[in-house]
Amino acid sequence: MTLVIAIDGPSGSGKSSVSKAVARRLGLAYLDTGAMYRAATWWCRHQGVDLADAAAVEAAVARMPLEMGVDPDSPSVHVGGEDVGAAIRTTEISTAVSAVATNLAVRDELRRLQRAAIDGEKLDGFSGGRGIVAEGRDITTVVAPDADVRVLLTASEEARLARRARELHGSDGAGAVEATRDQIVRRDADDSTVSQFHVAADGVATVDSSELDLEQTVNAVLAVVAELAPAAAPTDEVGTGRTDA
């Protein structure tokens, strides 16, 4: 059976770490769709395109030579053969990416590539046809609304700010949290204008990770998988923290 797992959530919800771990546990491919929006932003900058010029951004993204590596042990992003894995994580790109991610023509193009990657895993991609975990903001609702398992990963704003502050600044003290606020609160407000990722759509299970560590959150997602796609899930895990939409 080919399994498609869609995971959405806001910044700092732990989506990437959880999605990678779930893919690893189940032997699936892993697609980071946020990295595709980041790569598009990097590419526009690299090409000298003004991010405020929507038509120029659309044209640049349409010819972006993007290659996504979907091994959850070493996910990679290449543009024109150049490894941009580190370059797309800089504060400069994090600050600018919403301008590209709110361009509706860019979203159409990247969704087309995302669906192609998901369909490729159903055939004979990295996973050998086992399937894929795709994470982002609109995977459960627009990119793959017919996925076998759909999860919205949430966490309180406080928990998300503290988590990202520890990642970026190595501390969750007041100064570090304030320095992180733009990355979480402003960006999610901008991104919310084009995607709904704070409330689960019908049929999407919610996992709230505010009080859970990584392992517990992974187990909660695996428990959803065990319920909705029992043939695919490992049988030795019992999860917590999940509520139905």
Q: Is 209 in the site for ligand DC (CB under 6 A)?
A: no
Q: How many C-alpha atoms does 235 have within 13 Å on its Cβ side?
A: 2
Q: Bridge partners of 8?
A: 136, 152
**Binding segment for ligand DC among 116-124, 132-140, 171-179, 198-206 (CB under 6 A)?**
132-140
Q: Bridge partners of 243?
A: 206
Three-state DSSP string of 123-155:
CCCCCCCCEEEEEECCHHHHHCCCCCEEEEEEC
User: Coil, helix or strand for 42?
Assistant: helix
**Binding segment for ligand DC among 52-60, 73-81, 130-138, 234-242 (CB under 6 A)?**
130-138
Q: What is the nearest approach in angstroms of ligand DC to the Cβ of residue 240?
A: 25
Amino acid sitting at position 211: E
Amino acid sitting at position 56: A
Q: Is 136 in the site for ligand DC (CB under 6 A)?
A: yes
Q: Is 187 in the site for ligand DC (CB under 6 A)?
A: yes
- Interaction mask 49-78, ligand DC, x per CB under 6 A: ------------------------------
How does strand 76-79 pair with strand 66-69?
A: antiparallel
- Interaction mask 16-45, ligand DC, x per CB under 6 A: -----------------xxx-xx-------
Nearer to ligand DC, 34 or 75 (CB): 34
Report the 10 Å Cβ neighbour count for 64. Answer: 20
Binding site for ligand DC (CB under 6 A): 11, 33-35, 37-38, 97-98, 101, 136-139, 187, 191, 195
